[in-house]
């Protein structure tokens, strides 16, 4: 006799409905870790907006309390609404805070972050610094950040919504560099920095 264990979506179960689980998320709710199990529909309706909110406005626990570099002229972050004006929504690209996975420097804006990877670490683009292997699972990816971000969708349970190249590498560091990719990339970065500093 075969037995199959079926997990039900928490939202539907509260409504006394039975819909199979597609995704599970571990959340620290203040009083301890909880697991939220959701079907595909509830995942997109409830979890994804929450994950987007946390990714946009949250600060990594290890970075909490560190000042975020901002331009003195900005009283409050501007946000894109998708209608061409400013208002509620995601921060404009030049307001996003990037965390360098090599040195943990926090940089506001895409262009300043690119300048950081070039001037401090010797790479023209952050994606060049990452190489072409996923540090979480060891799979081959292309050297473009869009490809790494696309591949990172397979690791959402680990990444917690941050599918940036830095997010992938920071997650691999938290996992103890399971495939040695971070260490190998750091060797390459240190070589580039040495050439940069010798010049």
pTM over 0.75: no
Which two structure tokens, joined as six digits, stand for 157?
């349970």
- For residue 90, what pLDDT is reported? 47
Query: Do 110 and 93 touch, CB atoms closer than 8 A?
Result: yes
- For residue 148, what pLDDT is reported? 75
Residue 38 burial (CB count, 10 A): 22
- For residue 128, what pLDDT is reported? 80
- For residue 79, what pLDDT is reported? 38
Strands 79-80, 23-28: pairing is unpaired
β-bridge mates for residue 33, sequence order: 28
Write out pLDDT tens, residues 153-192.
778 878 776 777 888 888 888 889 898 998 998 998 888 8
- Per-domain residue ranges for the chain? 1-58, 96-198
Please give the helix or strand (H or E) that residue 34 lies within, else none. Answer: strand 33-38
Give pLDDT < 50 ranges for the chain.
Answer: 67-91, 93, 143-145
């Amino acid at each position: 006799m075969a037995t199959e264990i079926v997990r039900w979506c928490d939202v539907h179960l509260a409504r006394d409905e039975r819909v199979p689980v597609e995704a599970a998320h571990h959340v620290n709710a203040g009083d301890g870790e909880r697991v939220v199990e959701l079907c595909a529909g509830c995942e997109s309706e409830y979890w994804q907006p929450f994950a987007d909110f946390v990714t946009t406005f949250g600060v990594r626990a290890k970075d909490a309390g560190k000042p975020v570099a901002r331009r003195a002229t900005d009283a409050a972050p501007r946000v894109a609404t998708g209608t061409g004006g400013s208002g509620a929504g995601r921060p404009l690209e030049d307001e996003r805070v990037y965390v360098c996975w090599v040195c943990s420097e926090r940089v506001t804006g895409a262009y300043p972050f690119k300048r950081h990877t070039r001037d401090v670490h010797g790479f023209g683009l952050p994606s060049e610094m990452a190489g072409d292997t996923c540090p979480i699972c060891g799979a081959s990816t292309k050297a473009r950040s869009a490809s790494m971000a696309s591949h990172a969708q397979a690791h959402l349970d680990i990444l917690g919504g941050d599918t940036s190249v830095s997010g992938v590498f920071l997650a691999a560091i938290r996992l103890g560099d399971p495939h040695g990719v971070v260490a190998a990339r750091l060797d390459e970065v240190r070589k580039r920095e040495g050439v940069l500093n010798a010049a």
